[in-house]
Structure 1
């Protein structure tokens, strides 16, 4: 019991009192590849393999065609990462991405203003995120069950708004989604904005340290005076906003919105989080690694398509990538154990 209490105190002091933990830290050593850095190695290896096996996927045109979808996936993966850091899972991504595009299209034409359309859509996302967080944190429903139920409700709303017929998107939103700045698609810049914001908040602020502490050990964080409920609901709120942004950008890029628009952005986003190294045990995670993994998954899908593989092979390749990433994530721990045994 005494050891467990001591370990909890160490965890809380690391995240809630960083200045104290730094003063007691060990002397600095040479940096090593951690669980969030392996994805960079994998991404470089994938690009090298693509240039050899399928050179056509490495042309400027192919990369520019892939990047917008990679950016959208990175935004969804960012929201999913925040939820998983709180030991949760948001299965409402399909419905939220689909409904966001539809609401943006409908309200954009109704108000003749893309600004009002975006604000209205984000407000709906905030409400959905609060509902998800409340069901899980207050009613104590399992995240999988709660978010699946909300997802079914969102898909039902999407179908009632469209009548199972895709709706057109305002020209302004299409222009924004297809725009380029400094040689990169606008979707990539939006993804960078979301990832950077999430990274700064979770890594460089007191709120972020408390957020991580809640994910590591909710009871210990609550005992330390942290408002656990606020951070748990906040994670689902942030994820819903990310899904809304992804849904609007996707609808603008495709030019239409439907109840099936978000079908391809649930499992790939979860896969990106896993490949990026964020564990389902909560606490530590990296939105940057998840975003890089989203780029990895997008390029991997393009490579498989270039090789003429069908949907079944694509799913098999994704599954192998997830298994490989999960295995590689434990390599740093294995290497440290080997070093200690040799020392």
Structure 2
């Protein structure tokens, strides 16, 4: 085990030195989103002051928190060079399972535990399909998503399911002036950040994402970490689904429709690359807040759904451009 622990830092240093000339300073990797968020709030206060009132912000934050939880799970998968397209189905299924079992068992604690277990099983299926059977993540998770949506339709009969009152109370609660959903999101993000950045497990997790073959040669159990990323992702989706259902007051097959592309957009805007390894769940969470406020701003300006999608696309393009702009400038200077 000691050899394994010693080999991982060597692997990371080797990967870092190999790409040293192409690396971008840390500030441009994950910190630009903070500047973007400040600028967005500044623009919002000028062009749509109504979106910056206390009531508007408190109305936006619960959904931003839910999106941040989904983005956290998506970030972990993308760090393993994967992609989890089953977010829609998992968010919807989690809300339905929690609602049905919570009312049937008359215990929200058992309902939450059962829902998390269902999510973990879905994550294992996704991870196994991708890692063991070498199915492309996009194809594997889309197939699982279709199965999940079908399961939700069978459970609900296409009719929304009422959520236990206690879950609605939890989702609508406020502590220290912040919605409970934001505090739950904070807990998920900090936990994921601590594990990936401050523990030996996290260092090995990053090493697997950087170079799976080299990590395996160093004695790291690559399969466990790759499947574990999908399990963590599905658990995040499950938590988001339960909180969303509690906040809305019902669960249905369409509950998760708005939490796939915006979550992936948050990961991209936050600066996590699809090449694996490096990533920041904190930056993804901040980007989730950015995306939520951006959507609220666009709605306040009277734009329709098509314009909202266009604005999201422009935000992703701008974030990607800004992220690689410093490296492009350095390369241009060297060549000239």
Q: Same fold (TM over 0.5)?
A: yes
Identify the match of residue 33 of structure 1 among 27, 37, 54. Answer: 27
**Range with greater deviation from structure 2 (326-335 or 309-318):** 326-335
Contact 2:86 2:142 in 1 (8 A): yes
Aligned to 1:211: 205
Of residues 3, 12, 19, the one that matches 1:15 is 12
Structure 2 counterpart of 1:174, from 168, 182, 185: 168
Q: Deviations over 1:56-107 (max 9, x none)?
A: 0000000000000000000000000000000000000000000000000000
Query: How big is the shift at 1:340?
Result: 6.1
Contact 2:72–2:236 under 8 Å retained in 1 = yes
- Is residue 153 of structure 1 aligned with residue 150 of structure 2? no
CA distances 1:223-277 after superposition (whole Å, capped 9, x unpaired):
0100000000000000000000000000000000000000000000000000000
Structure 1 match to 2:306 = 312
In structure 2, relative to structure 1, the CA distance for the partners of 1:153 and 1:81 (3 Å cut) is: same
2:196 is equivalent to residue 202 of structure 1: yes
Does the 8 Å CA contact 1:70/1:294 hold for their aligned counterparts?
yes
Contact 2:9 2:203 in 1 (8 A): no
Shift of the alpha carbon at 1:35?
Answer: 1.0
Aligned residues: 324
Aligned position for 1:133? 127
Alignment partner, residue 5 of structure 1: none
Residue in structure 2 matched with residue 6 of structure 1 by the alignment: none
Match of 1:49 among 43, 47, 68: 43
**Which residue pairs with 1:119 in the alignment?**
113
Deviation at 1:131, TM superposition (A): 0.5
Counterpart of 1:86 in structure 2 is 80
What corresponds to 1:72 in structure 2? Answer: 66
| Deviation of the 1:10 alpha carbon | 10
TM-score, normalised by the number of residues in structure 2: 0.93
In the alignment, the residues of structure 1 paired with residue 13 and residue 174 of structure 2 have an alpha-carbon distance, to the nearest angstrom, of: 41
> 1:274-313 maps to which residues of 2 (within 5 A)?
274-313=268-307
Q: Which residue does the alignment assign to 2:187? A: 193
Q: What does the per-residue CA deviation read over 1:176-233, in whole Å, with 9 as the maximum and x for residues that have no partner?
A: 0000000000000000000000000001111111111101110000001000000000
CA distance in 2, matches of 1:156, 1:338: 52
CA distance in 2, matches of 1:182, 1:335: 45
Q: Is the CA contact (8 Å cut-off) linking 1:77 and 1:291 kept in structure 2? A: yes
Quick one: which of 245, 249, 252 aligns to 1:251?
A: 245
State how far apart, in whole Å, the 1-side matches of 2:249 and 2:166 are: 10
Within-5 A mapping of 1:312-331: 312-331=306-325
Q: Find the aligned partners of 2:206 and 2:108 in 1 and give their Cα distance.
A: 35
- Which stretches in structure 2 are left out of the alignment for 5+ residues? 1-5
State the match for 1:109 in structure 2: 103
The answer (yes or no) to whether the contact 1:73–1:269 under 8 Å persists in 2 is: yes
Q: TM-score, normalised by structure 1?
A: 0.91
CA shift, 1:129, in A, is 0.3
Structure 1 runs not aligned, ≥5 long: 1-8
Shift in Å, 1:34: 2.5
Distance 2:34 2:325 in 1: 15
Q: Contact (CA 8 Å) 1:16, 1:206: kept in 2 or not?
A: no
